[in-house]
C-alpha cells in the first residue's frame, strides 16, 4: 500500500486521532449499545452491517467528539436513495475501505516468481459517511434501527446484593431508555434495558452512578448539584458528576463489582475543576461517602 492516495488516507486518520488525544478526548465508549443488543459497534444504517477494524475506532471517535447518541452511519448516496438528505453544513467522517486487487502474473512476464500464476494485494480507499443524527427525513427503522426487546435476558451474571440495594433504596428505576440519567423533576432513574449492557460491571457502575445522583434530591441529602440548576460543563455540573463517579466507585467496591467507572466525557471538566479548586477532590469524596452511607443504611434498616 504505497500509492499516494493510500498514504493520504492513513495520514488523515492518524491526524484525527492525534487531534483527539491533544484535546484530551480519546474515543471511549459507554458500556451499553444503543442500536442493538450486541456490543456497541457502529453499523451501517442501510444494511445493518457492522463496520470493522480501524473504521470502528474512527467512528467511535467521531461519535464521541460530536456527541452522537447513535452509532449508525450512512453514505450520502444511501441517504439520497431512501429520500432523506444530509442537513446543510454537516461534515462527514472519513472511513477506509480495503479492497483486494488480484493481478494476473501471466500478463507480467518479468515477475520474479514464475511458479505463481497470480497474486493479490490490498489497497485502501477513503469514503465519507454521515451519522443518522446529521440527516433529515430518515424512516424510523433506518434512524433508530431494530428496537431491542426490553424483556430479553441479559447474558451477564446479576449481583444479588447490589439488586437488593436498589430495591431497599426505594429508587424508581425505569429500564426503557437509550441513555442513563437521573431526572430530578420526576425523581426517576432512566437506564437502557439490562440486555443492552455487555457486562456486570458496565450495568452496575452506571446504575450506581445514577443512584448517587438520586441521593442528592431535596428530600434526601439536598445536594446543591441536584437541587440547584448548573449549566452543562460548568464547575457545579462537573462537581456533581465527580461526586456521582466517586460514589459509584465506593458502591462497586462494597459489592466487589469490577465497575467501569471512567466517564471520560467529563475528564476535561474535572481537570479544570481540580486545577481551580484544590479542595474539590476532598469535598467531592466526602459528599460521595455521605451518599454511600445513606444508601447502605437503607439496606441495614
Q: Does 190 score more than 80 pLDDT? A: yes
- Taking the C-alpha atoms of residue 257 and residue 203, their distance in angstroms, rounded to an integer, is 10
**195, 37 in Cβ contact below 8 A?**
yes
Q: Does 93 score more than 70 pLDDT? A: yes
* Band of pLDDT at residue 110, cut at 50, 70 and 90: very low
Q: Does 7 score more than 80 pLDDT? A: no
Q: Please give the pLDDT value at position 219.
A: 96
Q: Please give the pLDDT value at position 277.
A: 80
pTM score > 0.75 for this model? no
Residue of higher predicted confidence among 3 and 41:
41
Average confidence (pLDDT) over 129-139 = 93
- Taking the C-alpha atoms of residue 250 and residue 293, their distance in angstroms, rounded to an integer, is 10
Amino acid at each position: 500500500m504505497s500509492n499516494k492516495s493510500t498514504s493520504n488516507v492513513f495520514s488523515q486518520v492518524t491526524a484525527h486521532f492525534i487531534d483527539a488525544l491533544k484535546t484530551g478526548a480519546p474515543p471511549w465508549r459507554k458500556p451499553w449499545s444503543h442500536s442493538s443488543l450486541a456490543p456497541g459497534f457502529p453499523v451501517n444504517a442501510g444494511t445493518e452491517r457492522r463496520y470493522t477494524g480501524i473504521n470502528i475506532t474512527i467512528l467511535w471517535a467521531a461519535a464521541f467528539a460530536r456527541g452522537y447518541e447513535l452509532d449508525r452511519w450512512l453514505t450520502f448516496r444511501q441517504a439520497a436513495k431512501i429520500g432523506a438528505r444530509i442537513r446543510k453544513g454537516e461534515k462527514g467522517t472519513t472511513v477506509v475501505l480495503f479492497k483486494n486487487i488480484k493481478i494476473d502474473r501471466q500478463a507480467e512476464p518479468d515477475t520474479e516468481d514464475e511458479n505463481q500464476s497470480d497474486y493479490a494485494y490490498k489497497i485502501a480507499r477513503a469514503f465519507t459517511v454521515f451519522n443518522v443524527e446529521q440527516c433529515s427525513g430518515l424512516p424510523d427503522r433506518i434512524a433508530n434501527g431494530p428496537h431491542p426487546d426490553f424483556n430479553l435476558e441479559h447474558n451477564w451474571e446479576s449481583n444479588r446484593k447490589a439488586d437488593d440495594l436498589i430495591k431497599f433504596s426505594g429508587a424508581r428505576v425505569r429500564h426503557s431508555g437509550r441513555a442513563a440519567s437521573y431526572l430530578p423533576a420526576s425523581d426517576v432513574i432512566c437506564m437502557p434495558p439490562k440486555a443492552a449492557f455487555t457486562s456486570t460491571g458496565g450495568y452496575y457502575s452506571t446504575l450506581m452512578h445514577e443512584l448517587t445522583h438520586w441521593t442528592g434530591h431535596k428530600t434526601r441529602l439536598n445536594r446543591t448539584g441536584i437541587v440547584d440548576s448548573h449549566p452543562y460543563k460548568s464547575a457545579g455540573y462537573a462537581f456533581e458528576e465527580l461526586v456521582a463517579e466517586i460514589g459509584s466507585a465506593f458502591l462497586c467496591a462494597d459489592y466487589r463489582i469490577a465497575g467501569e467507572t471512567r466517564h471520560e466525557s467529563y475528564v476535561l471538566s474535572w481537570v479544570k475543576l481540580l486545577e481551580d479548586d484544590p479542595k474539590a477532590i476532598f469535598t467531592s469524596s466526602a459528599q460521595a461517602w455521605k451518599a454511600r452511607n445513606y444508601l447502605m443504611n437503607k439496606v441495614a434498616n
